[in-house]
Structure 1
Amino acid sequence: MTWNNVKKIAGRVVAVIVPVAMQFLWYLLILKWLSKAAGLLSIVLTVLSFLFVLYINTKREESSYKTLWLIVILTFPVLGAVMYIIFGNNNTAKKLEKNITKARLHMDYELPDGEKCIGELEREDKRLAQSVKRISDATGFPMVKLDSAEYFSVGEEMFADMCKELEKAEKYIFAEYFILQNGKFLNTLVDIMARKAAQGVDVRIMYDDLGSIATYSLADALKLGEKGIKCVPFNPFLFIKSQLNNRDHRKIMVVDGRVAYSGGINLSDEYINIGSKYGHWKDIGFKITGEGVKSYTYMFMEFWNAFSNDMIPHDLVGESFKKEGKGGDGYVLPYYDSPMTDENVSNTFFSEILYAASDYVWFYTPYLMLGDSLFDAFIRAAKRGV
């Protein structure tokens, strides 16, 4: 970590200390007021702890997640009950869900119907169609025909292609990333975006405030504004709050509804193997065209409208999306997983893939932290000879 990054973190911490201190003082005043009824409160919370243990035990959650809460509540009945009320049972996602639901009210935007494609897939592979339909039903995103797709095995390939597509932008550029960091990668894209903004293109960038805490600051975002690029942080890190852990790990770039980029590549130089302290940096990306781009555009609009007062106008994206390429023979279902859904959609889908596999399954991920159900699915598949 560079000295500049250390200063950015220190500046953010100092800015947060005052509101955190005020929150802490407020909690102390509440506790002092409640201390008059400490005996009764302790009994109530102990009973609640017992009920929470029973409730958690009946939930359809990852056993490791349930075990963690059971240990906390059984070890610290009163404190554990309070923590579960504040942080447990997906309560941390309620504020996020409220923001996004409100944002959707300002969106006159319809996603395509995916039933036809699922019906076509069902004739080829009924079992796979069932799993895909479950994802679509749970997330609200459709499976559509794939027009074209391009895979990038390393960030350098994707960087070069991004530059070419940004130069073609005529109406809008939407970018949403977990990490932004000034350097060749980001600054090259920003230079192109600034030129396009000067030509009347609507350019918007969203970044995760905590994910970029060491690499990007409000001052950096304001500099983008001076270049005509609109920029907002996702879930700003201003207070110590229950939804602090709800972060935006998505990596999305959409140009004119014509092409969409996604994958695991953030806008930081190590992703294109510049200045990496840990050797060759391997992450992947892809580009798609066709109706699937609509889903990525919708995702961006949801989150942008939830955290910005400058709503995206419908007439900017409302016209028919352009097709690129020659037309493919496959399907694509862009979607996102989140704590707002009652089901761990991706986790369930990966388990189903493993249980249905007969020959091989290849996973590529920078994060391997398996829950019990997925871990068991890997083992069972391997023991079957997959």
Structure 2
Amino acid sequence: MKVLRVLFSRMLIVGLMILFQFAIFVYLLSEFSHDSRIIAFIGNMISAFVVLWIINKRENPAYKLAWIIPILIFNIAGGILYLVLGNKKPSKDMRLRLERVHKKISKYLKQNEEILEEVKNKDKIIYGHVNYINNASGYPMHKNTETKYYSLGEYYYADLIEELKKAKKYIFMEYFIIAEGEMWNSILEILEQKAKEGLDVRLMYDDMGCLSLLPYGYFKELERKGIKCIAFNTFKPLLSLVMNNRDHRKIAVIDGHTGFTGGINLADEYINKKERFGHWKDTGVMLKGEGVWNLTMMFLEMWNANRQTDSDFSIYRPKIHQVETTLSDGYVQPYGDSPLDGEVVGENVYLNIINSAKEYVYIFTPYLIIDNEMMTALCLAAKRGVNVKIVTPGIPDKKTVFKLTRSYYGELLDAGVKIYEYTPGFIHAKVFICDDEVATVGTINMDYRSLFLHFECGVYMYKCRCINDIKQDALDTISKSREFSKKDIKDGRRNSLWQAILRVFAPLM
């Protein structure tokens, strides 16, 4: 039965279709190359122009190099392949739809200048961080927001269930991965009940993220249950990198006043009900109060770009349905990152934190596949005396990616950065904490896909009470992890050639 399920799975069928297209592409190129010198000459010219075009594009140098090398090696095939697969921007249709909605919501995202002035008086460097996020992503900083940090998916899940049950008006959920199991089934039961009660229940999931986890057309099944549902960027088995633009966000908003985000998807491994790679460590945050507005607008922007539903966004503001009084707990700034704007907001938020650190920066990341800017920032911070500690998985989910992650260790260790691998299992968290004052928790991995291709989100926090909890979790996690040494690097030198090759092609993985 299991074999039949695999043979007829959507993942296998899609994979075979793409492989078939690629085989035809290679065959035709081979035939044309042998049959005609003129065609070969034209192919060579195409490749030469493509290389010049890549060099002059405003893109990350590592991404350029990853394409130039195969073009120079395979010549005709490489050049034409880039024309087919090299575009990493969203489709024109997706761009236009998102830009149209973004113009509408921008008037609802005005920064309170008094809050900015307060932050400026406390710390001008932090003021610069806040200003950058506001100007680059369009999401302002808020006060009057309570924060709660979750060091494990189990704790996040317990509160998410409790808050979903309290919903009175609406529930918005946007997740990269949904998989049938205890976690999703219990949430689905609540969503179905709330829809029957007349609440506005909306769900978005990423079609590629759920390709092997949900049945084809699962959104139709949810619609029949009364849950409004969108499968984002429905996967088509075509040779096109447009399919790389995934919705990697994890957002839940209840009645506008309570919001959740972080690395936690809706699948049993995230709450350790299912073991995949040892103990699964993930993190998240819950916000209550004004700061939830940014998450609400992030969801509504994506929703309305795919299904025009709302004309007045102000009806979803936090205070409208909030009964409990919210105490001010520092400053919060949920922010989004998009492949549309040409601005790597997620990476720049991380760089700003590293570059302004005085005493320490602790980092959780499942993947450490970094460009020159990030490598330089981490090394410089360590060299100027900042205590930089990075925690990566002890048990990887992808062995090739893990080898690639380890390929960056040598240079970092030489600069004084300390690297730990989470001994109990896999760490999926995306957390930065700095100097007891600043932290960010979200969905943004330290790899090219998250930083350049995906729709992502995070929460920048300044002087929030939960920052102490984040620091304590970082210290506890480090104590359970194995410190990677220079001796470990020497012992693994037999993999150095393979790792070097992987690093060249890292932006394409």
Instruction: Select between 73-82 and 294-303 the one with higher mean Cα deviation.
Output: 73-82
Note the residue ranges of structure 2 that are not aligned, 5 or more in a row: 387-509
Q: Deviations over 1:253-282 (max 9, x none)?
A: 111111110001111111111121333211
Q: Deviations over 1:321-368 (max 9, x none)?
A: 225543324222222223222122221232232222121011122222
Measure the CA separation in 2 of the matches of 1:384 and 1:10: 56
Measure the CA separation in 2 of the matches of 1:336 and 1:14: 33
TM-score when normalising by structure 2: 0.66
| Alignment partner, residue 195 of structure 2 | 197
1:318 aligns with 2:315: yes
The correspondence of residues 1-386 of structure 1 with structure 2, limited to 5 A, is 3=2, 7=5, 10-13=8-11, 16=14, 42-88=40-86, 90-104=88-102, 110-114=107-111, 116=113, 117-218=115-216, 220-240=218-238, 241-308=240-307, 311-314=308-311, 318-322=315-319, 325-386=325-386
Q: Deviations over 1:202-238 (max 9, x none)?
A: 1111111111122112354333223211222111113
Q: Deviations over 1:189-210 (max 9, x none)?
A: 1111111111100111111111
Change over 3 Å in CA distance of 1:40–1:369 after alignment to 2: same
Q: How many residues align?
A: 381
SS in 2 for 1:318: helix
Measure the CA separation in 2 of the matches of 1:297 and 1:67: 38
Change over 3 Å in CA distance of 1:263–1:146 after alignment to 2: farther
* AA partner of residue 334 (structure 1): P
Give 1:137 deviation, angstroms.
1.7
Change over 3 Å in CA distance of 1:24–1:360 after alignment to 2: closer
Instruction: Select between 266-275 and 114-123 the one with higher mean Cα deviation.
Output: 114-123
SS in 2 for 1:130: helix
* AA partner of residue 127 (structure 2): A
Note the residue ranges of structure 1 that are not aligned, 5 or more in a row: none
RMSD: 3.4
Equivalent residues of 2:151, 2:282 under 8 A apart: yes
Equivalent residues of 2:46, 2:80 under 8 A apart: no
Measure the CA separation in 2 of the matches of 1:330 and 1:63: 38
Measure the CA separation in 2 of the matches of 1:126 and 1:287: 27
Equivalent residues of 1:354, 1:361 under 8 A apart: yes
* AA partner of residue 353 (structure 1): I
Change over 3 Å in CA distance of 1:18–1:47 after alignment to 2: closer
Q: Deviations over 1:262-314 (max 9, x none)?
A: 00111111111112133321101111122322221222122223334xx3334
TM-score when normalising by structure 1: 0.85
SS in 2 for 1:145: coil
Change over 3 Å in CA distance of 1:123–1:82 after alignment to 2: farther
Equivalent residues of 1:121, 1:129 under 8 A apart: yes
Give 1:239 deviation, angstroms.
2.5
Measure the CA separation in 2 of the matches of 1:42 and 1:134: 49
Q: Which has the higher contact order (CA 8 A, sep 6+)?
A: 1
Equivalent residues of 2:88, 2:244 under 8 A apart: no
Aligned residues with identical type, % of pairs: 38
* AA partner of residue 332 (structure 1): V
SS in 1 for 2:219: helix
SS in 1 for 2:336: coil
